[in-house]
Structure 1
């Protein structure tokens, strides 16, 4: 799928990649949701399908936090408080830990809710607001949203599908 360059493209990419991922998550055996069967986000580590969903929830919520903080006139915290861009593995570990006791059903519900909040967020902006000017560094707002929604959904889907083929 091409990198979204318009509001409509972004909304379509989020919905399409999420729907595809969601169908594949439906196929994860209940007994395997907390088994460390996937390559982790830190080299040499493994994670469970539940950790992968927690990671996606974390990034979706991070996007929402960026926008909330800007709307409230608060300073940016990119990518997250006490995390630098070269420490994203630590952020992944934080997301896993935040959701380590959540059930598979709860994780799936939280992911749907976070995705729906992102859709609402995107719909609230004009195409020019999303793609007209840089929003963070050289990246437009739309591209930053895509980096943390549709792109990770597609990556997660690839991980899940590859693992499911081994069952």
Structure 2
């Protein structure tokens, strides 16, 4: 899919990529969801499907935190307080730990709720505010949302489908 350039395309990219990914996630037995055999986010690492979903929830909730902070007139730490852009592997580990106590079904519910909250932000934000001006450095708000939702959903689906094929779940 082409990179979204407006509000409608962004919402559709998120919805479409989420639905495809969710179908694949729903096909993962809970008993396998914590098996550490999926290609990891950092080079030469492995993770579980649970970790993959935790990563997506973590980034989605960061998008919501950034948006809320900016709306409140606060200085926002990008990507997250205590992390630099060159420490995303460490941030991924934080996300895995943040949601480790949730069951796989509860984590999937959290993923759905986070996606719905992001879609609500898009719905209540005008196209000009999403795509008409830089929001973080040279990136628009719409592009920052897309970088952390629709794009990683697509990447996660590819990773998950390879894993499911290896496991005989495809």
Between the aligned partners of 1:100 and 1:8, the Cα distance in structure 2 is 34
Q: Does 1:116 align with 2:106?
A: no
* Structure-to-structure mapping, 1:68-87, within 5 angstroms: 68-87=68-87
Q: What residue ranges of structure 2 are gaps of 5+ in the alignment? A: none
Alignment correspondent of 2:30: 30
- Which residue pairs with 2:141 in the alignment? 141
Q: SS where residue 165 of structure 1 aligns?
A: helix
Q: Distance in 2 between matches of 1:112 and 1:16?
A: 13
Stretches of 4+ moved more than 2 A in 1? none
Residues paired across the two proteins, number: 167
Q: State TM-score, norm by structure 2.
A: 0.96
Let me know the Cα RMSD of the aligned residues: 0.7
How far the C-alpha of 1:66 sits from its partner, in A, is: 0.2
Cα deviation 1:83-113 (Å, max 9, x = unaligned): 0001101110000001112100110000000
The structural deviation recorded for 1:29 is 2.0
2:80 alignment partner, SS class: coil
1:60-99 to structure 2, matched below 5 A, reads: 60-99=60-99
Aligned to 1:163: 163
